[in-house]
Amino acid sequence: MMWSVAGQTALVTGGSRGIGLAIAKQFQEAGGNVMLVSRSAENLRDAAATFGGAGGEVAWTVAHVGRPDDASAAVEATIKRFGSVDALVNNAGTNPYMGPLIEIDDRRMAKTVEVNQSSVLVWSRAVWSRWMRDHGGAILNVASIGGLSVEPGIGWYNVTKAAVIHLTRQLSWELAPTVRVNGIAPGIIRTELARAIWEDNEDQVASHIPLGRIGEVEDIAPIALLLLSNAGSWITGQTVVVDGGTSNQPSGGVG
């Protein structure tokens, strides 16, 4: 019963595909209601149609995660539809730039911050002020192991994910004891966002992962349910690394 979220409702940004959709399905299968959020009504309709009949109810609403008015409207729509918003999953993310950090243009720099970083606070603020301040709840932020390391090509993306990890810690302290705030830092997962990393050299990428394979969205979803349910009731301020062991390898030096 500790893993059950029956009677609770989760609002999931970036919920029409990938990790967000997998988390939403896990939550719904555990008995909870789900409100999916994305910019595309078509994608949301398609995603909602993939849920099973057992479990909680599923609805969707169109919103742009970088816009505070959209966040407030989505929270209101969730409360109107289900009567509460007990969990928020800040999953939406983007990476419009690949290349040296020093060469990124202002437009793509700002867009990455808006979607990956600022939206975490925008949506957390919306659910806190409208529901969680008085009723409690749980917030889950999807970060990345890139926020814990240095690597070529996606440096600015990783900077924003490092900010998400720190936002998780800061918000957990500020919103305690009524709201728990945790994060997940996935490694390379088979998603559309990460396709450029693994698609053309999957075997080579997998060879550098101790558990020998690229991650699947289903590897992330159960950890999310732990952190959103009563099973994780004494966990807050933590970002759980789920990466097949990628970040836990020898440095290459001579012992």
Q: For tokens 């603020």, what's the residue?
A: 125
Structure tokens at 88: 């928020």
Q: Are 18 and 193 contacting, i.e. CB atoms less than 8 angstroms apart?
A: yes
Q: Give me the pLDDT at residue 5, please.
A: 97
Number of folded domains that form the chain: 1
Span 122-177, pLDDT tens digits:
999 999 999 999 999 999 999 999 999 998 889 999 999 999 999 999 999 999 99
Q: Is residue 253 part of a domain?
A: no
What's the pLDDT tens digit per position in 42-85?
999 999 999 988 999 999 999 999 999 999 999 999 999 999 99
- CATH number for the domain that contains residue 214: 3.40.50.720
pLDDT at 199: 67
Kindly give, in sequence order, each residue whose CB lies less than 8 Å from that of residue 116, ignoring residues fewer than 6 positions away: 92, 93, 94, 157, 160, 161, 163, 164
> Is 67 within the bounds of a domain?
yes
Structural domain span for residue 46: 9-242
Would 4 be classed as within a structural domain? Answer: no
Q: In whole angstroms, what is the distance from residue 106 CA to residue 61 CA?
A: 30
Q: Is 3 inside any structural domain?
A: no
pLDDT at 255 over 70: no
Q: How far apart are CA 134 and CA 125, in angstroms?
A: 13
- Which pLDDT score is estimated for 249? 80
Does residue 252 form part of some domain?
A: no
Three-class DSSP category at 198: helix
- pLDDT band at 13; cut points 50, 70, 90: very high
DSSP 8-state symbol, 3: T
- Average pLDDT on 213-220 reads 94
Residues annotated as catalytic are: 157
Question: Average pLDDT over the chain, rounded to whole?
Answer: 94
Q: What is the pTM of this model?
A: 0.95
Q: Alpha helix (H) ranges present in 49-154?
A: 68-82, 106-112, 119-127, 133-135
Asked, for residue 1, whether it belongs to a domain, the answer is no
Residue 31, in any domain of the structure: yes
- Examine residue 143 and state whether it is found in any structural domain, yes or no: yes
Return the axis-axis angle of helices 68-82 and 119-127, rounded to nearest 10°: 40
